Amino acid sequence: MPAPLVRARYKEEPDDFEVEEVPAYEPSGSGDHLWLWLEKRGISTIDAVRHLARVLGRREREFGYAGLKDAQALTRQWVSIEHQDPAALEGLRLPHAAILRVTRHGNKLRAGHLHGNRFQIRLRGVDAAGLAALRANLDWLSSHGAPNGFGEQRFGKRGANLDKGLEILAHPDPGRIAAKMPRPVFRLLVSAVQSEVFNRVLAARIDRIDRILAGDVAWLHHNGACFRVEDPAREQPRCDAFEISPSGPLPGPHLLEARGEPGEIEAAAMAALGVSRDSFARLPTQSHPGVRRPLRVPVRDGSVEADPHGARVTFALPAGSYATAVLRELIADMPWFGGNGARGVQDPAQQPDAADPGAGPAAAAGDG
């Protein structure tokens, strides 16, 4: 990074962390599904939908949304509901939420139906020198990309999701466990293990996330397709142009595996957790088939402005990427993803062993 990291505080209040969903498509204005542009403050997407379901007399599963947004934030996103009388929404009062716009569309909003999220984040306690450092480093990230790690919220409080996911994979009959819990919960717990494998691979390659190695599986940013690299010298110019990036594994039985040094790094990450492709093949209905995820993520529309409390940082990320991945490249003393997930592992420069259901890159809305 061209400038030192700054010391700052964030998320002291929900309004310090503002997220606006960028939909994959705009509602058409006609159809059987009402689409609600929902603003919420200080509560999760699930809690907001629960309140909506209660006041409208509907079931929670009837609502659709593209991704889960952070609770400790001010967020805006689309929520859909079929065959709902819009008159019931007039004057509707919700705790910590409001419906800003109502329109219609022909289908239910599904998980992953978003391009990404725009973030406006207040960093408190930043001085003039800090503003200059933030601008220099955010400009650098706009050119080179940010590490695409999963945020700590992926792993639950004190890494509980990761621990439970490992227990499921180690069980002689994971199908029995799956039968005793809601399917989204089961998927989330196992996805935490996939995420931890990816974070460990990312930590091992943190200084080379913009370098293509022999045996890499490269990620095409324009469509998410992957291919195995045979000639890294030929592909590196495409990586320099941000057309492609090296990828890491969200392991599963159908994963396209890396070879050579990248493959050795990925195998070591899985072995350290006691899992393998076969661990995921035993899961019911092949719920986690295995996919790739780019090691870096493009940071778009970045800016840094002075704020009465310090600085306001603005940027956009693709679906499934975490704002904390960018903040770790800007702010000093943030916990590092990788190692033991959400359980306190710091920057690998300081420690040698270096954060929505579904494991695909676009299945979650990141820190949104």
Which residues are catalytically annotated?
Answer: 70
- Per this entry, what is the length of the chain? 368
Give the DSSP letter of residue 120: E
- Can you read off the two tokens belonging to residue 111? 């998980």
Q: How far is CA 137 from CA 4, 73, 84, 122, 124, in A?
A: 8, 24, 47, 16, 17
Residues 6+ apart with CB under 8 A from 240: 210
Give the DSSP letter of residue 171: S
Q: Name the residue among 76, 86, 83, 92 with its Cα closest to residue 58.
A: 83
Q: Please list, residue by residue across 34-60, b when 16 or more beta carbons sit within 10 angstroms of its beta carbon and e when fewer do.
A: bbbbbbbbbbbbeebbebbbeebebee
Residue 250 near residue 291 (C-beta atoms within 8 A): yes
Catalogue the E-assigned strands of 44-93: 63-65, 74-82
* Residue 281 one-letter amino acid: A
Q: For residue 236, report the phi and psi dihedrals to the nearest 5 degrees.
A: -60, -40
Sign of the CA dihedral with 131 first, then 133, 136, and 137 last: negative
If residue 18 lies in a helix (H) or strand (E), which one and from where to where?
strand 17-23
